[in-house]
Protein backbone atom coordinates (compact mmCIF):
# COMPACT_ATOMS: atom_id res chain seq x y z
CA UNK A 1 0.00 0.00 0.00
CA UNK A 2 1.37 3.41 -0.97
CA UNK A 3 1.96 6.26 1.41
CA UNK A 4 -0.91 8.03 -0.36
CA UNK A 5 -3.29 5.29 0.71
CA UNK A 6 -1.89 5.43 4.25
CA UNK A 7 -2.42 9.16 4.55
CA UNK A 8 -5.62 10.20 6.28
CA UNK A 9 -8.19 12.91 5.73
CA UNK A 10 -9.32 15.21 8.50
CA UNK A 11 -12.93 16.38 8.34
CA UNK A 12 -15.33 18.52 10.25
CA UNK A 13 -18.50 16.97 11.60
CA UNK A 14 -21.23 15.78 9.14
CA UNK A 15 -23.50 12.77 9.00
CA UNK A 16 -21.77 11.12 6.04
CA UNK A 17 -18.26 11.76 7.28
CA UNK A 18 -19.14 10.38 10.69
CA UNK A 19 -20.80 7.32 9.13
CA UNK A 20 -17.75 6.63 6.96
CA UNK A 21 -15.48 6.82 9.98
CA UNK A 22 -17.70 4.33 11.81
CA UNK A 23 -17.85 2.09 8.73
CA UNK A 24 -14.07 1.95 8.52
CA UNK A 25 -13.63 1.29 12.22
CA UNK A 26 -16.11 -1.59 11.94
CA UNK A 27 -14.31 -2.76 8.79
CA UNK A 28 -17.41 -2.63 6.61
CA UNK A 29 -16.78 -3.98 3.12
CA UNK A 30 -17.11 -1.35 0.39
CA UNK A 31 -16.18 -3.53 -2.58
CA UNK A 32 -18.55 -3.15 -5.51
CA UNK A 33 -19.99 -6.56 -6.51
CA UNK A 34 -18.48 -8.28 -3.46
CA UNK A 35 -19.39 -11.97 -3.79
CA UNK A 36 -18.94 -12.64 -0.07
CA UNK A 37 -21.13 -10.08 1.69
CA UNK A 38 -22.44 -7.87 -1.11
CA UNK A 39 -21.33 -4.91 1.05
CA UNK A 40 -24.56 -5.50 2.98
CA UNK A 41 -23.58 -3.86 6.30
CA UNK A 42 -22.35 -0.72 4.54
CA UNK A 43 -25.43 -0.47 2.31
CA UNK A 44 -27.91 -1.01 5.14
CA UNK A 45 -26.06 1.38 7.43
CA UNK A 46 -26.06 4.07 4.74
CA UNK A 47 -29.79 3.65 4.15
CA UNK A 48 -30.44 3.89 7.88
CA UNK A 49 -28.56 7.19 7.98
CA UNK A 50 -30.56 8.47 5.03
CA UNK A 51 -33.82 7.40 6.72
CA UNK A 52 -32.81 9.50 9.71
CA UNK A 53 -31.73 12.50 7.62
CA UNK A 54 -34.82 12.49 5.41
CA UNK A 55 -37.25 11.56 8.16
CA UNK A 56 -38.77 8.66 6.24
CA UNK A 57 -38.03 5.05 5.34
CA UNK A 58 -36.43 4.25 1.99
CA UNK A 59 -38.11 0.87 1.68
CA UNK A 60 -37.70 0.77 -2.11
CA UNK A 61 -34.10 1.97 -2.21
CA UNK A 62 -32.74 5.33 -3.29
CA UNK A 63 -35.06 7.87 -4.88
CA UNK A 64 -34.13 11.27 -6.33
CA UNK A 65 -34.40 13.13 -3.02
CA UNK A 66 -32.16 10.59 -1.29
CA UNK A 67 -29.71 10.60 -4.20
CA UNK A 68 -29.40 14.40 -4.11
CA UNK A 69 -28.89 14.25 -0.33
CA UNK A 70 -26.03 11.79 -0.84
CA UNK A 71 -24.40 13.90 -3.53
CA UNK A 72 -24.66 17.00 -1.36
CA UNK A 73 -22.83 15.16 1.41
CA UNK A 74 -20.26 13.78 -1.04
CA UNK A 75 -19.43 17.30 -2.22
CA UNK A 76 -18.09 18.06 1.25
CA UNK A 77 -15.53 15.26 1.18
CA UNK A 78 -11.99 16.34 0.40
CA UNK A 79 -8.77 14.41 -0.11
CA UNK A 80 -5.65 16.07 1.32
CA UNK A 81 -2.18 15.78 -0.18
CA UNK A 82 -0.49 12.42 0.28
CA UNK A 83 1.70 12.04 3.32
CA UNK A 84 -0.38 14.26 5.62
CA UNK A 85 -1.55 12.90 9.00
CA UNK A 86 -0.37 9.32 8.49
CA UNK A 87 -1.63 6.52 10.72
CA UNK A 88 -2.10 2.83 10.11
CA UNK A 89 -5.24 2.26 8.03
CA UNK A 90 -8.06 0.47 9.82
CA UNK A 91 -6.36 0.63 13.24
CA UNK A 92 -7.81 3.71 14.98
CA UNK A 93 -5.93 4.74 18.10
CA UNK A 94 -7.06 6.64 21.17
CA UNK A 95 -6.94 9.88 19.22
CA UNK A 96 -9.36 8.48 16.66
CA UNK A 97 -11.91 7.79 19.40
CA UNK A 98 -11.56 11.39 20.57
CA UNK A 99 -11.92 12.61 17.00
CA UNK A 100 -15.31 10.89 16.78
CA UNK A 101 -16.73 13.13 19.49
CA UNK A 102 -19.53 15.49 18.34
CA UNK A 103 -18.09 18.66 16.89
CA UNK A 104 -14.59 17.17 16.63
CA UNK A 105 -12.65 16.40 13.47
CA UNK A 106 -13.21 13.09 11.70
CA UNK A 107 -10.38 10.89 10.39
CA UNK A 108 -10.84 8.49 7.48
CA UNK A 109 -8.08 6.66 5.61
CA UNK A 110 -7.58 7.80 2.03
CA UNK A 111 -7.90 4.28 0.61
CA UNK A 112 -11.18 3.57 2.39
CA UNK A 113 -12.57 7.01 1.56
CA UNK A 114 -11.91 6.53 -2.16
CA UNK A 115 -13.54 3.09 -2.25
CA UNK A 116 -16.50 4.22 -0.13
CA UNK A 117 -17.15 7.12 -2.49
CA UNK A 118 -17.05 4.71 -5.43
CA UNK A 119 -19.57 2.46 -3.68
CA UNK A 120 -21.96 5.35 -2.93
CA UNK A 121 -21.72 6.65 -6.49
CA UNK A 122 -22.37 3.13 -7.75
CA UNK A 123 -25.50 2.86 -5.60
CA UNK A 124 -26.84 6.14 -7.00
CA UNK A 125 -25.87 5.21 -10.57
CA UNK A 126 -27.14 1.62 -10.54
CA UNK A 127 -30.34 2.61 -8.75
CA UNK A 128 -31.16 4.95 -11.67
CA UNK A 129 -32.31 7.65 -9.26
CA UNK A 130 -30.12 10.08 -11.21
CA UNK A 131 -28.40 9.91 -14.58
CA UNK A 132 -24.62 10.47 -14.86
CA UNK A 133 -24.91 14.04 -16.30
CA UNK A 134 -26.94 15.07 -13.25
CA UNK A 135 -24.36 13.48 -10.97
CA UNK A 136 -21.52 15.23 -12.80
CA UNK A 137 -23.26 18.58 -12.43
CA UNK A 138 -23.86 18.11 -8.70
CA UNK A 139 -20.27 17.00 -7.99
CA UNK A 140 -18.41 19.36 -10.32
CA UNK A 141 -15.15 20.57 -8.80
CA UNK A 142 -15.18 18.08 -5.89
CA UNK A 143 -13.03 15.04 -5.12
CA UNK A 144 -16.12 12.84 -5.47
CA UNK A 145 -16.56 14.38 -8.92
CA UNK A 146 -13.06 13.20 -9.85
CA UNK A 147 -13.91 9.69 -8.67
CA UNK A 148 -17.12 9.82 -10.72
CA UNK A 149 -15.19 10.84 -13.84
CA UNK A 150 -12.86 7.87 -13.47
CA UNK A 151 -15.89 5.58 -13.13
CA UNK A 152 -17.50 7.06 -16.25
CA UNK A 153 -14.30 6.61 -18.24
CA UNK A 154 -14.04 3.00 -17.06
CA UNK A 155 -17.67 2.38 -18.00
CA UNK A 156 -17.04 3.77 -21.49
CA UNK A 157 -14.02 1.51 -21.92
CA UNK A 158 -15.92 -1.58 -20.71
CA UNK A 159 -18.89 -0.71 -22.94
CA UNK A 160 -16.62 -0.33 -25.98
CA UNK A 161 -14.92 -3.66 -25.22
CA UNK A 162 -18.29 -5.37 -24.77
CA UNK A 163 -19.63 -3.91 -28.02
CA UNK A 164 -16.52 -5.04 -29.88
CA UNK A 165 -16.88 -8.54 -28.42
CA UNK A 166 -20.58 -8.71 -29.34
CA UNK A 167 -19.92 -7.51 -32.88
CA UNK A 168 -17.05 -9.95 -33.28
CA UNK A 169 -19.27 -12.82 -32.10
CA UNK A 170 -22.51 -11.79 -33.80
CA UNK A 171 -23.83 -14.86 -35.74
CA UNK A 172 -24.50 -12.85 -38.88
CA UNK A 173 -21.06 -11.28 -38.80
CA UNK A 174 -19.46 -14.67 -38.15
CA UNK A 175 -21.36 -16.13 -41.12
CA UNK A 176 -20.33 -13.21 -43.31
CA UNK A 177 -16.67 -13.61 -42.32
CA UNK A 178 -16.82 -17.33 -43.05
CA UNK A 179 -18.39 -16.70 -46.47
CA UNK A 180 -15.75 -14.06 -47.23
CA UNK A 181 -12.95 -16.44 -46.26
CA UNK A 182 -14.56 -19.22 -48.27
CA UNK A 183 -14.81 -16.94 -51.29
CA UNK A 184 -11.17 -15.90 -50.96
CA UNK A 185 -10.07 -19.52 -50.72
CA UNK A 186 -12.12 -20.38 -53.80
CA UNK A 187 -10.61 -17.48 -55.74
CA UNK A 188 -7.10 -18.48 -54.67
CA UNK A 189 -7.79 -22.09 -55.65
CA UNK A 190 -9.09 -21.01 -59.07
CA UNK A 191 -5.97 -18.91 -59.62
CA UNK A 192 -3.75 -21.87 -58.72
CA UNK A 193 -5.64 -24.09 -61.16
CA UNK A 194 -5.19 -21.53 -63.94
CA UNK A 195 -1.50 -21.17 -63.13
CA UNK A 196 -1.11 -24.95 -63.13
CA UNK A 197 -2.91 -25.24 -66.46
CA UNK A 198 -0.71 -22.52 -67.95
CA UNK A 199 2.46 -24.23 -66.72
CA UNK A 200 1.21 -27.52 -68.12
CA UNK A 201 0.43 -25.90 -71.47
CA UNK A 202 3.90 -24.36 -71.68
CA UNK A 203 5.61 -27.62 -70.69
CA UNK A 204 3.76 -29.56 -73.36
CA UNK A 205 4.48 -26.85 -75.89
CA UNK A 206 8.18 -27.07 -75.11
CA UNK A 207 8.45 -30.87 -74.91
CA UNK A 208 6.00 -32.07 -77.51
CA UNK A 209 7.61 -33.86 -80.51
CA UNK A 210 8.05 -31.49 -83.43
CA UNK A 211 7.04 -32.54 -86.94
Is-contact 1 89, C-beta < 8 A? yes
The answer to whether the predicted template modeling score (pTM) of the entire model surpasses 0.75 is no
Q: Above 60 in pLDDT, residue 9?
A: no
The predicted pLDDT at position 211 comes to 56
The predicted pLDDT at position 23 comes to 93
The predicted pLDDT at position 181 comes to 86
Q: Give the residue from 168, 134, 138 showing the smallest Cα distance to 74.
A: 138
Q: List phi, psi (to 5°) of 38.
A: 65, 15
Q: Give CA–CA dist 200/142, Å, rounded.
A: 79
Q: Give CA–CA dist 52/19, Å, rounded.
A: 12
Could you give the C-alpha distances from 66 to 26, 33, 114, 166, 201, in angstroms and in order?
Answer: 24, 22, 21, 36, 86
The per-residue DSSP string of 87-98 comes to --TT---HHHHH
The predicted pLDDT at position 107 comes to 67
Q: Which of 14-28, 161-175, 193-207 has the highest mean pLDDT?
A: 14-28
SS3 8: strand
The predicted pLDDT at position 29 comes to 93
Residue-wise pLDDT for 126-163, tens only, equals 877 788 888 899 999 999 999 999 988 988 888 888 88
Angle at 111 between CA 3 and CA 116, to 5 degrees: 170
Could you give the C-alpha distances from 80 to 101, 106, 109, in angstroms and in order?
Answer: 21, 13, 11
Q: Which of 38-47, 89-98, 190-199 has the highest mean pLDDT?
A: 38-47
Residue-wise pLDDT for 108-133, tens only, equals 788 899 999 999 999 998 877 788 88
181-188 contacts at long range (C-beta below 8 A, 24 or more positions apart)? none
Amino acid sequence: MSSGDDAESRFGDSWLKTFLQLAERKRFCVRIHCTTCGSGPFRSGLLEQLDRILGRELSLGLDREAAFALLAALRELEMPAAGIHRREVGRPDRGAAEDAAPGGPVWISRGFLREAIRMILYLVWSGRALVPPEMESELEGSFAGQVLQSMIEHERYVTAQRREHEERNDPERIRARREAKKSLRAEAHAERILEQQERSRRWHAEHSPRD
